[in-house]
Amino acid sequence: MKMLYKAVLFGCAAVSSFYCYADDAEVKQIEASGNLSVVSKYVSRGLTNAPENDDVAVQAALNLAYGNFYVGYWGSTLGYSYAEVQGRQGHRSDKFEHNFLLGYTHSRENYDWDLWNATYYYPGGKHTTGNELGLNISRALNDQTSIGASLSTYLYDVAYVNQGDTFYTLNLSHQLNDRLNASVTAAGSYFNDEGKYEGGELGDTEKQFAFRYASAGLSYTLLPQLSVSGEYIFGGYDRYDDKQRNLAVVALSYDF
C-alpha cells in the first residue's frame, strides 16, 4: 500500500507541474462563488449508520478563484462534537466541521482536472485536524452526459483515519432536460491497518478494501440559483466491516 500512497502523491504532483505552465493569455481576475444548503441528514462517504448529523444540517461553501488556482471553505453543522466523543465537556460551537481547501483546475479538450488539498478542522477536538490530497477527473461524453472519477488519500494519522487511507469514486451524470439532472455514483476505500491511533481511539481496522456505497440521485432547478435534490444511498461497508443501511437524503441549495 505504501507504493499506492506514493503513486497518488507522485501523480498529483505531476499533474500540477505539467499544467502550471499552460498558456494563460487571458486577463486574470478573482472570481467568487458560493453555496448555502439545508440537508435532511449529513452523511459522509456512505456512513449511513452514523451520520455526521442525523438531523437537518446547514452547510455553506465559499470559493475564490484566480485563473486556474482557487481557495475554498466548506462547513457543516454536526450532531456531535469531538470534545464530547473524547470524554470532555463540549459546547454548541464545537458541533461544526470546517474544511479549508487549496486547488488547481485545468480543462483540456473534453477533460476537466481538479488537484486539491483539504484541511479538516473540528473545534474542541484533539488530534482531529486532518489533511487529504486528492485528484478529480471528469470528461464530457456529449452535451448531456459526463463521467468522473476521484482519488484522495490522507497524509498523516488523526483520530478518525490512518495515514494512507484512500477513497475513490466513479460517477455518471446525465442532464435529462433544462431543469432535471440524474446521477449515479459508486465509491470504495482502502483502509490502512497501521497508524498512531489504530487499536486505540480509532479502533481496530477489520477490512482493508471496502465497497463504501452506491447512490442514485436527481436534482431539479427551481430557479436559476435555487435547486432541490434527492439521493438514495445503497449502503456498503466501513473499516470495521459493518454493513451500512440504505438511506434517502434530500437537500435544498442556493448558489451564488
CATH homologous superfamily for the domain 2-20+32-255: monomeric porin ompg (2.40.160.40)
Helix (H, G, I), strand (E, B) or coil at 93: helix
The one-letter code for the residue type at 245 is: R
Contact 137, 148 (CB under 8 A): yes
Contact 250, 233 (CB under 8 A): no
Query: pTM of the prediction?
Result: 0.88
Q: Return d(Cα 9, Cα 92) in angstroms, integer.
A: 37
pLDDT at 201 over 90: yes
Contact 248, 39 (CB under 8 A): no
pLDDT at 185 over 60: yes
Pairing of strands 209-223, 111-121: unpaired
Q: Return d(Cα 80, Cα 136) in angstroms, integer.
A: 30
What pLDDT score does 28 carry?
83
What pLDDT score does 22 carry?
46
Helix (H, G, I), strand (E, B) or coil at 8: helix
The structural domains of the chain, with segments of one domain joined by +, span 2-20+32-255
First to last CA, the chain: 41
pLDDT digits (tens, 9 = 90+) for 134-170: 999 999 999 999 999 999 999 999 999 999 999 999 9
pLDDT at 103 over 60: yes
Q: Where are the alpha helices (DSSP H) in 36-157?
A: 82-85
What pLDDT score does 90 carry?
87
The β-bridge partners of 167 are 152, 189
As given in the structure block, the three cell numbers for residue 151 are 482519488
How many C-beta atoms lie closer than 10 Å to residue 180's C-beta? 12
